[in-house]
């Protein structure tokens, strides 16, 4: 079991990292199209966490791209442990942010448009969906790397 698909330094890991970054950027774009998101703490939390996920994912995508193109995997146990811990922390924070954003936007939609219009609340829900997809890819990546840790 020399190369685990999705583990650090593989093309599958590169695809997972790029997917995380793309969905996090999409979540930020849907949320930040309107300035009214500052009124709700859950929305600010989502913007903050997605702002952390983007550079984390792009940095690790660069590490994966280097490993794929140079054909030299980076599998030091210390580095892998730091990546796993960072992935776990960011994945649980992004799950919390996407869940809280989804619940607040659902509550706002249930208020019959008195707090936000249907179009605006739909954008908030799309932002939460994109954040959830980013979480899913981040969690999958952390599980692949956790599986790889004993062999490093």
Any idea how long the chain is? 152
User: Could you tell me if residue 1 is inside a domain?
Assistant: no
pLDDT of residue 9: 84
Average pLDDT of the segment spanning 94-107? 94
User: Could you tell me if residue 4 is inside a domain?
Assistant: no
d(CA 66, CA 79): 15
Q: Which helix (H) or strand (E) holds 39?
A: none
User: Could you tell me if residue 67 is inside a domain?
Assistant: yes
Number of domains in the chain: 1
What's the domain range around 130? 11-151
The pTM score is: 0.90
User: Could you tell me if residue 96 is inside a domain?
Assistant: yes
User: Could you tell me if residue 113 is inside a domain?
Assistant: yes
User: Could you tell me if residue 142 is inside a domain?
Assistant: yes
Give tens-digit pLDDT for 67-82: 889 987 777 878 889 9
Q: What angle do CA 22, 59, 123 make, to 5 degrees?
A: 25
Q: Are 148 and 80 in contact (CB under 8 A)?
A: yes
Q: Are 9 and 74 in contact (CB under 8 A)?
A: yes
d(CA 120, CA 149): 43
Give tens-digit pLDDT for 10-26: 899 999 999 999 999 99
User: Could you tell me if residue 5 is inside a domain?
Assistant: no
């Amino acid at each position: 079991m020399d190369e685990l698909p999705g583990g650090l330094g593989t093309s599958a890991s590169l695809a997972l990292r790029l997917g995380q970054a793309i969905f996090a950027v999409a979540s930020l774009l849907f949320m930040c199209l309107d300035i009214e998101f500052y009124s709700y703490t859950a929305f600010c939390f989502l913007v903050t966490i997605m702002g952390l996920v983007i550079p984390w994912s792009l940095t690790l995508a660069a590490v994966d791209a280097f490993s794929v193109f140079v054909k030299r995997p980076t599998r030091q146990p210390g580095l892998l442990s730091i990546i796993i811990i960072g992935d776990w922390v960011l994945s649980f924070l992004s799950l919390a942010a996407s869940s809280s954003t989804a619940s607040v936007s659902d509550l706002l939609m249930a208020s019959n448009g008195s707090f936000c219009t249907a179009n605006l609340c739909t954008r908030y829900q799309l932002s939460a969906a994109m954040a959830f997809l980013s979480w899913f890819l981040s969690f999958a990546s952390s599980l692949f790397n956790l599986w790889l840790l004993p062999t490093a």
